[in-house]
Amino acid sequence: MRYLPKSPAERERMLAEIGAASIDDLFAVIPAEYRLDRDLDVPRQHAESEIVSYFRAAGQKNATDYASFLGAGAYRHYRPVIIDSLVQRGEFLTSYTPYQAEITQGTLQAIFEFQTMIAELTGMDVANASMYDGSTGSAEAVMMAVRVTGRHKAVVAATVHPEYREVLATYAKHQSLPSTLVGYDRETGRVDLAALDAAVTEETAAVLVQSPNFFGTIEDIPAIAAIAHAKGALLIVSIAEAVSLGVVRPPVEADIVSMEAQSFGVALSYGGPFCGVIAAKEKYLRQMPGRLVGQTVDSTGYRGFVLTLSTREQHIRREKATSNICTNQALVALMATIFLTVYGREGIRELAEHNLSKASYAAATLGSQAGAKLLFTGAPRFHEFVLQTAETPTLWSQRLMDEKIVGGLDLSKWYPELGNATLWCATEMVTRENIDTAARVLAAAPVEA
């Protein structure tokens, strides 16, 4: 086996040194009836060339040459080439969690830079070293708010990503943490402020909203914060599209921000690995989940970085830890750090403005086709919009696929009240030609006889 660095003679020599007659001696402790006396029924050993062929074929079977208007928590942005050049350096790729600080300063300094960038972009004081993804990060943020406030109820906007809400429900179920769902305004697509005000009580630990929300609409964060804070609840803002922060005002009134940083240079990869991160006001630091990197000095006074405040974590605190999280998404956080360094202060704004322009054109073009109507026009959007069509989405989406285009996401599963509604996303990767073609296909509904 080509990954194993031993010759048969070396194995024999080692067995002799150990004093074992055969390798089976070393497994004798496993009761005989539980030892596997046959080959595993898995595919035979393959050559590297065969492995590459297999996955190439899988990639081709997936169909690669489609333009796509899909977003909904997973966004296709251009990934600068140097991201993969750098993260594939073995020193980053094949290193463990930086517990031994003297020989992991590279990872530690990069995470410190990541934490700084996330804090800067979100308008929070501090950010952690990453969470699994945006969905679990939101659930962890709610649990963090429970620890901070000592309260045990959550109020959640229906405009938070439905799968994020499902994950929260899974986490909250066994922690006596009931959630109240608050609906949205049918004109703006924003959370219904009157309903929110009615739902938040003195028992509410946290209000969880997403902005830009699942419909692509930017929530009125100052107004939502005022409602939450009036009752002593924390405001958690979930951000699923991190690139929005290049042009959208950061949610500075929030107490905790849970962000999915996939948009910062992370491949879609059919939904993972992505990169969640939690940022917060400094006063809530000791209740944050996950790893944190801090600056310190070495014994001769030079600057260095270490994992810090680990008394919050499971390997020290065990069942009293702030979270059970251990492995996070370090290498993906490094991708995001490199991405943000490439685009920088000006680039992230320009990139976000390109997205805004593409989506404005797409919304106006698609929304003006006969039988199509743009919903939620009463509030600002980033790069996603909801389109209602006279025709059912299954019909026109098949025609779009014939043109090698994947259209908007059918919302009927989650928001049946919206009828034939679909969620469209136009990033900088979508071309005007894609948009015009999609509009032509949408307009080409068969005329009823």
Partner 1 sequence: MTTNATAPKTLGKVRPHQTQNEALVFEKSSPGKRAYKMPPLDVPAVDAAALLGDAHRKTPGLLPELSEIEIIRHFTRLSTWNYAIDLGMYPLGSCTMKYNPRVNEAVARIEGLAEAHPYRPDSLAQGILDVIDLLQRCLIEITGMDAITLQPAAGAHGEFTGILLVRAWHESQGNARRKILIPDSAHGTNPATAAICGYTVENLKSNSEGGIDLEALTRQVDEETAALMLTNPSTIGVFESQIHKIADILHAKGALLYMDGANMNALVGKARPGDFGVDVMHLNLHKTFSTPHGGGGPGSGPVACKAFLEPFLPTPVLCKTGNREQGTGNRVQGTGNRQGLGTEGPGTAGQLHWIYDRPQSVGRVRAFYGNTGMFIRALAYILANGPDGLRQTTEDAVLNANYIRAKLEDLYELPYKTASMHEVVFSDKRQAAKGVKTGDIAKRLIDYGFHPYTVSFPMIVHGALMIEPTESESLEELDLFIEAMRAIAREVDETPDLVKTAPHSTRVSRLDEVQAARKPILRWRPTE
Q: Which of residues 20-79 bind partner 1 (CB under 8 A)?
A: 20, 23, 26-31, 33-36, 39-46, 48, 50-64, 66, 68, 70, 72-74, 76
Cβ contact 393:407 at 8 Å: yes
Per the structure block, which two tokens stand in for 7?
């010759």
Which of residues 21, 150, 202, 299 is near partner 1 by CB under 8 A?
299
Considering the complex, state which of residue 97 and residue 388 has its C-beta at the smaller distance from partner 1: 97
Stretch that binds partner 1, among 151-159, 181-189, 225-233, 299-307 (CB under 8 A): 299-307
The binder of partner 1 chosen from 187, 203, 271, 392 (CB under 8 A): 271
Count CB-CB contacts under 10 A for residue 55.
Answer: 10
Nearest distance, CB of residue 184 and partner 1, angstroms: 16
> Does 440 interact with partner 1 (rule: CB under 8 A)?
no
Which residues within the stretch 96-135 sit at the binding site for partner 1 (CB under 8 A)? 96-98, 100-107, 109-113, 115-117, 119-121, 125-127, 129-130, 132-135
Least Cβ distance, residue 175 to partner 1 (angstroms): 6
Q: What is the DSSP string of 401-449?
A: HHTTEE-PEE-TTT-GGGSSEEEEE--TTS-HHHHHHHHHHHHTPPPP-
Cβ-based nearer residue to partner 1, 180 or 310? 310
Sign of CA dihedral 13, 19, 22, 24: negative
Binding mask 392-421 for partner 1 (x = CB under 8 A): -----x---x----x--x------------
Measured from the CB atom, the residue of 62 and 448 that comes closer to partner 1 is: 62
Residues 358-397 close enough to bind partner 1 by CB under 8 A: 358, 360-361, 380, 397
Among 21, 150, 202, 318, binds partner 1 (CB under 8 A): 318
| Distance in angstroms between the alpha carbons of the first and the last residue of the chain | 67
Residue 214 or 372: the one with the smaller Cβ distance to partner 1 is 214
Closer residue to partner 1 (CB): 291 or 399: 291
- CB nearer to partner 1: give 155 or 330: 330
Closest CA to 161 of 420, 427, 413, 428: 413
DSSP state for residue 184 in the 8-state scheme: B
Query: Is residue 88 classed exposed, middle or buried when 0-12, 13-18 and 19+ CB atoms within 10 A define those classes?
Result: exposed
- Which amino acid does the sequence have at 152? H
SS3 state of residue 180:
strand
Based on the number of CB atoms within 10 Å of its own CB, is 428 exposed (0-12), middle (13-18) or buried (19 or more)?
A: buried
Q: What angle do CA 317, 144, 75 make, to 5 degrees?
A: 115
> Judged by CB, which is closer to partner 1: 126, or 155?
126
Piece of 195-203, 226-234, 321-329, 384-392 that binds partner 1 (CB under 8 A): 321-329
Please list every residue from 230 through 269 that binds partner 1, using CB under 8 A: 245-250, 267-269
In angstroms, the CA 348 to CA 265 distance is 12
283 counts as binding partner 1 under rule CB under 8 A = no
Stretch that binds partner 1, among 95-103, 152-160, 180-188, 368-376 (CB under 8 A): 95-103
Distance CA 127, CA 9 (A): 53
CB of 147 to partner 1, least distance (A): 12
**Among the listed residues 320, 370, 402, 448, the single contact to partner 1 using CB under 8 A:** 320
Size of the site for partner 1 (CB under 8 A): 203
Q: Give the number of other Cβ atoms within 10 Å of residue 329's Cβ.
A: 24
Question: Applying CB under 8 A, which of residues 338, 411, 421, 442 lies at the interface with partner 1?
Answer: 338
Q: In angstroms, rounded to a whole number, what is the distance separating the alpha carbons of residues 221 and 209?
A: 9
Two structure tokens written together for 433? 């030609």
Q: Report the distance separating Cα 409 and Cα 24, nearest Å.
A: 55
Q: How far is the CB of 271 from partner 1 (least distance, A)?
A: 3
Compute the distance between CA of residue 117 and CA of residue 341 in angstroms, rounded to an integer: 9
Name the one residue in this structure whose structure tokens are 């993969």.
84
Q: How far is the CB of 98 from partner 1 (least distance, A)?
A: 6
Closer residue to partner 1, CB minimum distance, 80 or 232: 80
Applying CB under 8 A, does 163 fall inside the site for partner 1?
yes
Residues 277 and 370: their CA atoms lie apart, in Å, by 42
